[in-house]
Structure 1
Amino acid sequence: MAQAGKHYTMESRTGTNVVLNGKSYLYFAGTSYFQLHSHPDVIKAANEATQQYGIGSATTRALTGTTPLLEKIELKLASYFNTEDAVYLPSGYLSSLAGLKALDALGMYQVIFLDEGSHYSLAEGALATGRPVISFRHRDPEDLEKLMKKHLGPGQRPLIASDGLFPVMATLAPVRDYLN
């Protein structure tokens, strides 16, 4: 991490206290909102998976990079979200960019409606498509409906883009309300 010409090196496990460049600090940054990355069960499972599969597949999923672990998590995610399929990507930031670009390439929508409380990567992914992006009030289906009536032209299809879980507030998106 570099800021204003200064380089910071994390010298400890991330938790409430960290060591940066040899000095201890209280830590309020990062994106492991629920601290699962340091949960003993997660560490144990990661160690077991590393022993069996190695540190990574050393190739892309387009070749031989798909492991049984990836297939299992994708099946569980699809089941949990009641969808026919799911794709696991290594970062949330990449998921937003890849997902929106893939849907855009399929021509599935013409206008993106973005929950204003969504992660910035979703906003960047939406803007990267080059499509019109309209922000609606956080978790507000009525505002979404009003803006869709105002900004959708005849025959245009919307894409409603939102975090499923807003980690900072620990709230879920009202997806069913958006779909109605």
Structure 2
Amino acid sequence: MNWQQRIEQALREQQQQNAYRQRQVHYGVNGRHVALNGRCYLNFSSNDYLGLSQHQAVIAAWQRGAERYGVGSGGSAHVSGFSAAHQQLEQQLADWLGYPRALLFISGYAANQAVLAALMRNGDAILADRLSHASLQEAAHLSPAQLRRFQHNRPEKLAALLQKKCLGQQLVITEGVFSMDGDTAPLVELQALAQQHAAWLLVDDAHGIGSYGDRGRGSCWQQNVKPEILVITFGKAFGVSGAAVLCSDFLAEYLLQFARHLIYSTAMPPAQACAVQAALHCIQQGDHLRQQLQSHIRQFRTGAAQLALPLADSESAIQPLLVGDNQQALQLAECLRTHGIWATAIRPPTVPLGSARLRLTLSATHQAQDIERLLEVLDVATR
């Protein structure tokens, strides 16, 4: 089998399994609407949980940053790409979340990969929630450490793994709010178990930061847990893009020396760092946005319960409607589109086999009538 035959076979198999992915070109998007193919849809597929991607203060900050710094950083942060805007943002994030240091990364994927690649050695063990993000699981597989996965949100299963012999160090990994299920990790129990075994805890709070906790400080703050490593991203509630790792001084210095994703990647544009600073200010002052989001979540879940819709057990902005079959999930998504609602069918391998779903996401920018419309269409589409 040559290269072309191998690729064609893989594509055929993807199509046969109704797992084929296709991109859609949009011509304007926000937390509430998305414009595609000449039509405007109610948007229930965005991670822009607070609507900050369209906030005028965030947009203006990016524009001012571009005027001052230009549109690119020009190099790695280790060479010439580390600006005053980057330094200020790192300090603001560290102060906000109560850590000695914050390090900026170009994406959450890169941050997770960088930390595991730099830290893990032969003889170490990574103990990861089975539903941890693909970036974490891939990094674990690529590392020299042994990957041991525990049943989703089951601390007793983690306890059993921690008791197994390990020649090196142990790192426990979980998400704060899980990206495909929308549920929250039992961080208090996980941290207690990690501490009992002298292990470190890494929490990826991409979907919790900004939306939860006092002043939007996220899942860990809400549960009064301070992991040794906290990863946050700016592409969800912040409405921008990029990520940061919050940690101790000595770990930050170690990552600066050995994290290849930092050393060999062009830094985020300084103008982007300016926009993230503005988004951070909006989040810190955004109790009204979080209250609005929680109101939408309650409204949707109450209505869904009355319709007996098969929702996952989630109190977050992520509300998965479980379907099971790939083709049925695609058909349901298409039915919603004919009624002016944009929702994405999520299929394996992003989620486990047999658990295809519509990943419905709510935003503070939605209005009560939007939620009612979604429920009306789901009532018709699922009969």
Instruction: Give the distance between the partners of 1:44 and 1:140, measured in 2 at CA.
Output: 44
| Cα deviation, residue 4, structure 1 | 4.8
Residue 149 in 1 paired to residue 188 in 2?
no
Note closer, same or farther for the CA distance 1:31–1:100 as it changes in structure 2 (3 Å cut). farther
- The CA deviation at 1:12 is 0.4
Higher relative contact order (CA 8 A, sep 6+): 2
How far 1:97 sits from its partner (Å)?
A: 1.1
Question: How much identity, in percent, do the aligned residues show?
Answer: 27
Match of 2:177 in 1: 166
Counterpart CA distance in 1 for 2:178 and 2:53 is: 15
In the alignment, which residue of structure 2 is the partner of 1:36?
52
Q: Residues 1-20 of structure 1, C-alpha deviation per residue, up to 9 Å, x if partnerless?
A: xx958552121033322112
Q: Which segment drifts farther, 92-101 or 121-130?
A: 121-130
**Cα deviations by residue, 1:100-135 (Å, 9 ceiling, x for unpaired):** 11113xx39711011234322222222221432122
Aligned residue identity for 1:114: A
Runs of 4+ in 1 over 6 A off after TM superposition: none
- Does residue 1:49 correspond to 2:60, yes or no? no
* Pairing partner for 1:89 from 105, 130, 147: 105
- Range with greater deviation from structure 2 (63-72 or 13-22): 13-22
Q: 1:145: Cα distance to partner?
A: 2.0
Cross-structure match for 1:11 = 27
- Per-residue CA deviation, residues 8-67 of structure 1 (Å, 9 max, x unaligned), is 212103332211233323333344344332333322332332222222212221211011
Query: Does 2:127 match 1:116?
Result: no
Deviates most, 23-32 or 63-72: 23-32
Tell me how far apart the structure 2 counterparts of residues 97 and 5 of structure 1 sit (CA, whole Å): 24
- Structure 1 distance, partners of 2:48, 2:139, is 21
Please give the alpha-carbon distance, in whole angstroms, between the structure 2 residues aligned to 1:109 and 1:26. Answer: 50
Q: Which amino acid aligns with 1:92?
A: G
Q: Which amino acid aligns with 1:143?
A: K
Higher helix residue share: 2
Gap change, CA 1:89 and 1:11, over 3 Å in 2: same
State the AA in 1 paired with 2:145: R
Instruction: Output one character per residue of 1:61-115: Cα deviation in whole Å (capped at 9) or x when no partner.
Output: 12110111211222233344444432111211111111211113xx397110112
TM-score, structure 1 as length reference: 0.76
1:158 Cα deviation (Å)?
Answer: 0.5
**5+ unaligned residues in a row in structure 1: which ranges?**
none
SS at match of 2:127: strand
Contact 1:109/1:159, CA 8 A, preserved across alignment: no
Distance 2:195 2:96 in 1: 18
The Cα RMSD (Å) is 2.9
2:61 and 2:127 map into 1 onto residues whose CA distance is: 38
The aligned residue for residue 135 of structure 1 is: 149
Question: Do the aligned partners of 2:27 and 2:35 also contact (CA within 8 Å) in 1?
Answer: yes
Q: Which amino acid aligns with 1:133?
A: L
1:70 to 82, 86, 91: 86
Give distance in 2, aligned partners of 1:96 and 1:140.
22
Confirm or deny: 8 A CA contact 1:89 1:95 kept in the other structure: yes
Q: May I ask how many residue pairs the two structures share in their alignment?
A: 173
